Chains A and B, each alone.
Chain A
């Protein structure tokens, strides 16, 4: 097979597959999370009181099971994720919410790793630049 034919096949297949992916995501709306999935993600995002720092999802303790049942009740009663988390935060304090995206402290938590990545990429580019400069001189 010639180089040209290989290129055409690769591009054609790629474009076709990409079209399927884009079409798939644009045509069907994402399925709504099931009650069980919501319970799972909520209990992963809430720290279990009295269980050594584990989340409700991870802990084997009896209290954790009780709180998971409580979450299940609230989900069944139609409460939103935010409402359930807010109630836990009100009862136990913010430090029991593992999902920090709502707290002011989370800005630094997210910002510093991003800055590290950007800064590191800058160093890489600088390394390349200074190497090229030396070759020129």
Chain B
């Protein structure tokens, strides 16, 4: 019953999306917003219904639905039961569709009464929606009924919802890795908001190209969407790293896995886009480049989805089904070829003479960072796909892993930091060497002193010292600039500071993100370059000192819960002399119902400087083998990542650009007009 209703909701949403496309194209000339009211509302309602119905089926344990049988069980705790609604392939597409529908509705609400550009952009969003709901209606139907039960799960299912079903007695339960930590329920939806959000700037860009609106209207109107999506994407990436660190037991947070790369790629492109959009708004340059960047960003979100869901590249993140792969690849090809062809046709309308006064200027440094970011993205993409390329060309099997990506990322990252520090404090048009020196001399000295201190306390890795020095340089440059601007205000330093910040939330939000990024860079260097790793074997009552921390093994314990069996050990973490206890750690191994693979769960103590990370490596209760890792400044990585997100949120407060009645008068505006 739920299946049939869910199926109906998906078809209704699909139909509404088709109507949005047809009406959007027909009304793009008169720009009549009200014409789209009914289909947009139906689309939203049907998408909500499909999501609610899937959750309802999961919560009521309707095992006649294959998705429910294969991804949940009667003993799954409620939170993970609810999260199962998007934890596997079909469900993730339902959430994707829901977000797309919500964004479609929000965009429609913000349209002007007469809005040709906006109505056409909605039609583009409708095309994207048709694809996703078409996928749900066919190859990835979340409500497919089970036709052959294998006891605790469904062996075979039919996407047609009127077949006589075979109902499994209980479900298989979620993938053990996915129910081991609460972050796993939060991390994917954050990423999806980021992924789906880039549909909006993409849709406006395509609509603007179609209408030959080469002005900045589409940028102004999608500025907040880009920022929100960008912030959610990096938030999701940080949460994913945090989850990996807390759960996977090897102490890492980033493995350059193809699917991790797939999340990083659109973020890198979006970061470049956000910056080059500022250059177009302030200086009237880079119109064509912005169109390309937004097309690339959106294409990379689809590519990421394809890599995750097609199984073309072996990855822990990849879902097993591969039937949706060819469809996603086809859609990706359509997006890339279609939008680039449109761009090529319109290039002469968009192309515009570069007006770069000096390479040493705010726009010059943003351009340089755009170059580094796109080369970074290209390198990650190239490395990820390289095994496929080589295999297609020669049949040889090669593997590209962490060593390549690490070695490529460090120099690019350091270059990025350097240019970012200089660019942040440069004025537009021209930044003379004298001015740069005056604004940077103190930051240069402070950065070098930080590097010297690092060397003094025994850091012997050049890349770590360089990162610390550059990171401190970037932060000092920004803080000093803020201090100087505040001090020169007539109302004095304190209220001047508030005024400076509030007067330009866009700029200072960006600087907050830059501060966060510098902290992230420092933490990346210290946690990878200065980590101490040890493997120890302990009997009950024994203790060992690792890098200034004493660990004493007191006793083993076992716990039994409905959905899992837990075995663990109590470890007392003490100071170097083994006298005062800082914390009790409980690294454990969980074995989930319906799975034979035990999942190690490390325990972490976070101090002012170090994280002490303890996981069970093997052995028995009498002689336990523990992995003990000490990661300096690990917490800085999470804090820095959250500061990057916070900067994006602050920048949302930027005063919106002046809205015009219709988008049409923008085309009459002189395209090179300088906006300062």
A contacts, CB < 8 Å to B: 3, 6-7, 9-11, 13-14, 16-18, 20-21, 24-25, 28, 30-31, 34, 36-37, 39-40, 44-45, 47, 52-55, 57-58, 60-61, 65, 72, 93-101, 103, 105-106, 109-110, 112-113, 116-117, 120-121, 124-125, 127-128, 130-131, 134
Report yes or no: B249 in contact with A116, Cβ–Cβ below 8 A: no
Known: A10-B445, A58-B255, A60-B248. A99 touches B378 (CB 8 A): no
Report yes or no: B535 in contact with A36, Cβ–Cβ below 8 A: yes
In the assembled complex, B163 has its CB within 8 A of some CB on chain A: no
> Which residues B400-424 have CB closer than 8 A to chain A?
400-404, 408
Pick the contact of A47: B258, B318, B401, B465 (CB < 8 A): B401
Offer 9 A-B interface pairs, CB within 8 angstroms, sorted by A: A14-B448, A21-B465, A55-B401, A99-B403, A100-B398, A101-B403, A105-B396, A106-B404, A125-B359
Report yes or no: A124 in contact with B452, Cβ–Cβ below 8 A: no
Most A C-beta atoms less than 10 A away, residue of B248, B401, B408: B401
Most A C-beta atoms less than 10 A away, residue of B390, B399, B460: B399
In the assembled complex, B160 has its CB within 8 A of some CB on chain A: no
Query: In the complex, A65→B397 CA distance in Å?
Result: 24
Q: Which residues of B contact A99 (CB under 8 A)?
A: 401, 403-404
Report yes or no: B399 in contact with A97, Cβ–Cβ below 8 A: yes
Report yes or no: B378 in contact with A105, Cβ–Cβ below 8 A: no
Which single residue of chain A is at the shortest CB-CB distance from B448? A17
B contacts, CB < 8 Å to A: 248-250, 252, 255, 257-258, 313-316, 318, 353-359, 364, 367-368, 371-372, 374-375, 378-379, 382-383, 386-387, 390, 396-404, 408, 438, 441-442, 444-445, 448-449, 451-452, 455-456, 460-462, 465, 469, 532-535, 597, 599-600, 617-618
Q: Which residues of A contact B371 (CB under 8 A)?
A: 117, 120-121, 124
Report yes or no: B314 in contact with A44, Cβ–Cβ below 8 A: no
For the complex formed, measure the closest distance between the CB of B596 and the CB atoms of chain A, giving whole angstroms: 10
Apart from A25-B460, A98-B403, 10 more pairs, CB < 8 Å: A17-B445, A21-B455, A36-B532, A52-B315, A58-B248, A95-B396, A100-B399, A110-B408, A113-B378, A127-B354
Report yes or no: A45 in contact with B378, Cβ–Cβ below 8 A: no
Q: Which residues of B contact A54 (CB under 8 A)?
A: 255, 257, 316
For the complex formed, measure the closest distance between the CB of A48 and the CB atoms of chain B, giving whole angstroms: 11
Query: In the complex, A95→B533 CA distance in Å?
Result: 27
For the complex formed, measure the closest distance between the CB of B321 and the CB atoms of chain A, giving whole angstroms: 15
Known: A94-B398, A98-B402, A124-B367. A116 touches B445 (CB 8 A): no
For the complex formed, measure the closest distance between the CB of A137 and the CB atoms of chain B, giving whole angstroms: 12
Please give me the 6 A-B residue pairs with the lowest Cβ-Cβ distance, nearest first. A98-B401, A53-B314, A24-B455, A95-B397, A17-B448, A10-B441
For the complex formed, measure the closest distance between the CB of A6 and the CB atoms of chain B, giving whole angstroms: 7
Q: Which residues of B contact A134 (CB under 8 A)?
A: 353
Query: In the complex, A65→B353 CA distance in Å?
Result: 59
Q: Which residues of A contact B442 (CB under 8 A)?
A: 6, 10
Query: In the complex, A103→B399 CA distance in Å?
Result: 10
Report yes or no: B375 in contact with A95, Cβ–Cβ below 8 A: no
Which single residue of chain A is at the shortest CB-CB distance from B535? A36
Query: In the complex, A95→B396 CA distance in Å?
Result: 8
Query: In the complex, A60→B272 CA distance in Å?
Result: 36
Pick the contact of B379: A13, A28, A113 (CB < 8 A): A113
Report yes or no: A25 in contact with B455, Cβ–Cβ below 8 A: yes
Known: A58-B250, A131-B353. A100 touches B400 (CB 8 A): yes
Q: Which residues of B contact A98 (CB under 8 A)?
A: 399-404
For the complex formed, measure the closest distance between the CB of B567 and the CB atoms of chain A, giving whole angstroms: 15
Pick the contact of A20: B354, B390, B455 (CB < 8 A): B455
Report yes or no: A44 in contact with B448, Cβ–Cβ below 8 A: no
Which single residue of chain A is at the shortest CB-CB distance from B389? A108
Pick the contact of B404: A14, A20, A36, A100 (CB < 8 A): A100
For the complex formed, measure the closest distance between the CB of A76 and the CB atoms of chain B, giving whole angstroms: 11
Q: Which residues of A contact B456 (CB under 8 A)?
A: 20, 24
Report yes or no: B599 in contact with A60, Cβ–Cβ below 8 A: yes
Q: Which residues of B contact A16 (CB under 8 A)?
A: 452
Report yes or no: A95 in contact with B399, Cβ–Cβ below 8 A: yes
Query: In the complex, A20→B453 CA distance in Å?
Result: 9
Report yes or no: A28 in contact with B390, Cβ–Cβ below 8 A: no
Q: Which residues of A contact B449 (CB under 8 A)?
A: 13, 17
Report yes or no: B401 in contact with A105, Cβ–Cβ below 8 A: no
Query: In the complex, A53→B317 CA distance in Å?
Result: 10
Report yes or no: B359 in contact with A18, Cβ–Cβ below 8 A: no
Pick the contact of B441: A6, A47, A116 (CB < 8 A): A6
Query: In the complex, A65→B600 CA distance in Å?
Result: 12
Q: Which residues of B contact A37 (CB under 8 A)?
A: 533
Report yes or no: A105 in contact with B448, Cβ–Cβ below 8 A: no
